[in-house]
């Protein structure tokens, strides 16, 4: 499973809000909703998040293996 917990931590460190993502990165409100719900997003969205927040992919996503 992919976790976006690091995204919210990185945003907090940089003083960014979901409004910042929508205005600076042209990230739609539906994509923000998908991120909050932990749903999949496109690689274009991940690229935009890295650009907006001036960070790496590892600063916004983390892979967590499913428990079996």
Whether the model pTM is above 0.95: no
In the CATH scheme, what is the code of domain 2-63?
A: 1.10.260
Per-residue exposure over 12-41, b if at least 16 CB sit within 10 Å of its own CB, e if not: eeeebebeebeeebebeeebbebbeeeeeb
What pLDDT shows up at residue 20?
92
Structure confidence at residue 18 (pLDDT): 95
Span 21-63, pLDDT tens digits: 999 889 999 999 999 999 999 999 999 999 999 999 999 999 9
């Amino acid at each position: 499973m992919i976790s976006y917990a690091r995204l919210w931590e990185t945003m907090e460190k940089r003083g960014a809000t979901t409004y910042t993502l929508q205005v600076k990165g042209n990230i739609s409100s539906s994509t923000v909703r998908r991120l909050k719900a932990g749903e999949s997003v496109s690689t274009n969205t991940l690229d935009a998040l890295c650009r907006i927040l001036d960070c790496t992919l590892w600063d916004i996503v983390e892979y967590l293996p499913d428990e079996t």
